[in-house]
């Protein structure tokens, strides 16, 4: 193991004898990485295979890892069962889309203002806003519940949309982006007689296209995956979001029809898979930059 390079790419070693060691180390590394990758993917593979199998054989052992048949009846069963999964999915989609649209409108505007405009109190407001990142959802949930109850918004998607359309994280990400824009671009627009709104809308915002898309994707996934607040604000099967619907379908102690539950879970995971295939690179870049570059 001494030949495993701890985080450093192997250097070219001059002698032949020494060069054999990294090969052994690399083989061990790749073997370990394969074991890890299998552990990461196997549960998803099992989910998918089980979703295609007859419900009666879902728990057959030894487990079949690859689909033996392509039988989609569990998917039909899942969407026509007592829990209205399709309605739940629609609810999730409406909330996630509304929240994402709201966020990609409000966060870039605020981020631009904090990065590029002068106004009294700017820095204190920004620090206050950022401090909201350390307020966990569990602390505000009780007053929010009472607030939604007062305004009759319980069991209504607005109870999740309204608090979701603004947020400090998006403002922070976009502010970082706008700080990096060359001042000349802004000045040039000003020289041409553009006011602050026009400079933002016509010059700065189009340049932020990638940052805004990333924010949209992250916001969408966050909302699509959310469980805590929906489980408290929504309390009927018709208004439930997809995660709530799936937990209902699973039933207490996993008593539900496992093949159908896995079919529904496969459907529920699909958006994450699409995002993953399309936008993996951006998401990784934006998630890591804040941690490493500080």
Partner 1 sequence: MTLTVPPTQLPPAPAVGRRGRPGRISTARRQEALTGYAFTAPTIVGFLVFVLGPLVAAIYLSLTKYNILTPPKFIGIDNYVRMFRDERLAQTYGNTVLYVGAAVVLINGFGLLFAVLINQRLPKALTYVFRSAYFFPYLVALVYVSIIWQALFQKDTGILNYYLTALGGEKIDWLNSSEFAKVSVIIVDTWRNAGFAMLIFVAALQEVPKDMVEAARMDGANEWQIFCRIVMPMISQATFFNITMTIIGAFQIYESIIVLTRGGPGDASRSVVMYIAEVAFNKFDMGYASAIAVTLFLIIMLVTLAQFRLRKSWVNNE
Q: Does 158 bind partner 1 (CB under 8 A)?
A: no
CB 10 → partner 1: shortest distance, Å?
Answer: 5
Q: Does 265 bind partner 1 (CB under 8 A)?
A: yes
- Which pair of structure tokens corresponds to residue 9? 């790419």
Residue 150 has φ and ψ, to the nearest 5°, of: -60, -40
Quick count: other Cβ atoms within 10 Å of Cβ 291?
Answer: 7
CB 258 → partner 1: shortest distance, Å?
Answer: 6
Query: Which position among 80, 122, 185, 251 is part of the footprint of partner 1 (CB under 8 A)?
Result: 122
Quick count: other Cβ atoms within 10 Å of Cβ 139?
Answer: 9
**CA dist., res. 211 & res. 217, Å (int):** 10
By CB atoms closer than 10 A (0-12, 13-18, 19+), residue 237 is: middle
CB 12 → partner 1: shortest distance, Å?
Answer: 10
Query: Which position among 18, 41, 76, 90 is part of the footprint of partner 1 (CB under 8 A)?
Result: 41
Interface map 79-108 toward partner 1 (x if CB under 8 A): --------------------------xxx-
CB 270 → partner 1: shortest distance, Å?
Answer: 10
Query: Where does this chain touch partner 1 (CB under 8 A) — which range of 71-79, 80-88, 204-212, 246-254?
Result: 246-254
Q: Does 57 bind partner 1 (CB under 8 A)?
A: no
Q: Does 181 bind partner 1 (CB under 8 A)?
A: no
CB 251 → partner 1: shortest distance, Å?
Answer: 11
Query: Where does this chain touch partner 1 (CB under 8 A) — which range of 37-45, 67-75, 93-101, 207-215?
Result: 37-45
| 114-118: long-range contacts, CB 8 A cutoff, minimum separation 24 | 114/171, 114/175, 115/174, 115/175, 115/176, 115/177, 115/178, 115/179, 115/181, 116/178, 116/181, 116/186, 116/204, 117/196
């Amino acid at each position: 193991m001494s030949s495993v390079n701890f985080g450093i790419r192997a250097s070219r070693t001059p002698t032949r004898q020494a060069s054999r060691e990294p090969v052994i180390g690399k083989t061990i590394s790749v073997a370990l990485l394969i074991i890890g990758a299998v552990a990461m993917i196997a549960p998803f593979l099992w989910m998918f295979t089980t979703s295609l199998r007859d419900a009666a054989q879902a728990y057959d052992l030894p487990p079949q890892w690859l689909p033996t048949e392509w039988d989609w009846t569990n998917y039909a069963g899942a969407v026509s069962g007592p829990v209205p999964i399709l309605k739940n999915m629609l609810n999730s989609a409406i909330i996630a889309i509304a929240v994402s649209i709201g966020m990609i409108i409000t966060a870039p505007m605020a981020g631009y203002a904090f990065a590029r405009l002068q106004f009294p109190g700017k820095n204190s407001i920004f620090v206050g806003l950022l401090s909201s990142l350390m307020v966990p959802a569990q602390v505000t949930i009780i007053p929010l519940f009472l607030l939604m109850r007062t305004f009759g918004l319980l069991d209504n998607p607005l109870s999740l949309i309204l608090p979701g359309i603004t947020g400090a994280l998006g403002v922070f990400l976009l502010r970082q982006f706008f700080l990096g824009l060359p001042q000349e671009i802004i000045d040039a627009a000003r020289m041409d007689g553009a006011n602050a709104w026009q400079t933002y809308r016509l010059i700065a915002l189009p340049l932020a296209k990638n940052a805004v898309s990333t924010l949209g994707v992250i916001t969408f996934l966050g909302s699509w995956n959310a469980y805590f607040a929906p489980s408290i604000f929504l309390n009927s099967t018709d208004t439930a979001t997809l995660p709530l619907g799936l937990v209902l379908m699973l039933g207490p102690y996993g008593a539900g029809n496992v093949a159908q539950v896995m079919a529904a879970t496969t459907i529920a995971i699909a958006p994450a898979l699409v995002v993953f295939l399309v936008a993996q690179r951006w998401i990784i870049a934006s998630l890591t930059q804040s941690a490493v570059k500080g």
